[in-house]
Every structure is written in structure tokens, then in C-alpha cells.
Amino acid sequence: MVEDHLVLEQLRKIRAEQDAARERDHEIMARLSGIETGLTRIARDEAGNYAEIIQDRHAIDRIRERLDRIERRLELAD
């Protein structure tokens, strides 16, 4: 009888430890999900920034072409 009580007590402790481990796992998974979401946002923002840089480069190229044409017409080019 006493041994049964000790066994049940040990089983309860094991169950409590398992519950605590599950809660920790749940918290870790939730935090990991938040990190993944943040990384995804950063990657998306980086892609958007890169697209803007490319667009700016194209705009600068067009401005250079226009400036070159203007200089040629005004005979200012070297």
C-alpha cells in the first residue's frame, strides 16, 4: 500500500514535469514563429528596397541619356 502511494506520487511528479515541458515547448514554438515572421518581414522589406534601388538606377540612366543629348545639341560635350 505504501509502495503504491510512492509509485503514484512519482507518476504525478513525472506528469507535472511533462506538462511543464509541454508548456515550455509551446512557448518556444510561439517565440520561434514570431522570429520567423520577423525574418520574413525583413526579407520582404529588403526585396522592396532592392526594387527601389533598381528603379532609381534606371531613372538615373535615363537622366544621363537626356543630359548627354542636351550637351550634344548645345555642343557642350567634349
48-67: pLDDT as tens digits = 999 999 999 999 999 999 99
Residue with cell 503514484: 8
Collapsing DSSP to helix, strand or coil, 74 comes out as coil
DSSP state of 75: T
Total structural domains within the chain:
1
On whether the CB atoms of residues 77 and 67 are closer than 8 A, the answer is no
Single pTM value for the model: 0.61
pLDDT tens for residues 2-37? 788 899 999 999 999 999 999 999 999 999 999 999
- Domain with 26, as residue range(s), is 1-78
On whether the CB atoms of residues 71 and 77 are closer than 8 A, the answer is yes
